[in-house]
Amino acid sequence: MNTHSLSGLSMIGCRVFSKPESEEVYARRRGEILTAAEHCFVKSGFHRTTIQNIAADAGMSVGNVYRYFASKDAVVEALVLRDQAKMAEDFDLLSGDDLVGAFAALMRRQIVECGPAQSVLWLEICAEATRNPTIARVTRAHEQAISSHLIAFFTRVIQARTARGVATTTDPQALASLVITLFCGLMVTQALTPDKSAQAGVEQMLALVSAAIEGRVESPATMDEKAEIYA
| Model pLDDT, residue 149 | 94
Mean pLDDT over 222-228 rounds to 49
Are residues 47 and 95 located together in one domain of the fold? no
Structural domain contains residue 228: no
Structural domain contains residue 26: yes
> Per-residue pLDDT tens for 118-148?
999 999 999 999 999 999 999 999 999 999 9
Are residues 37 and 145 located together in one domain of the fold? no
Please say if the pLDDT value at position 10 is more than 90: no
| Cβ partners under 8 Å of residue 173, min gap 6 | 151, 221
Distance CA 144, CA 150 (A): 10
Are residues 148 and 48 located together in one domain of the fold? no
Are residues 85 and 164 located together in one domain of the fold? yes
Show which of 19, 46, 68 is a domain's final residue.
68
Are residues 119 and 175 located together in one domain of the fold? yes
| Model pLDDT, residue 20 | 56
Mean pLDDT over 210-214 rounds to 89
Secondary structure of residue 71 in the 3-state scheme: coil
Mean pLDDT over 188-204 rounds to 89
Show which of 12, 37, 68 is a domain's final residue.
68
130: left (phi over 0), alpha (psi -120 to 50) or beta: alpha
Q: Which domain holds residue 194?
A: 72-221
Please say if the pLDDT value at position 101 is more than 50: yes
Show which of 14, 47, 68 is a domain's final residue.
68
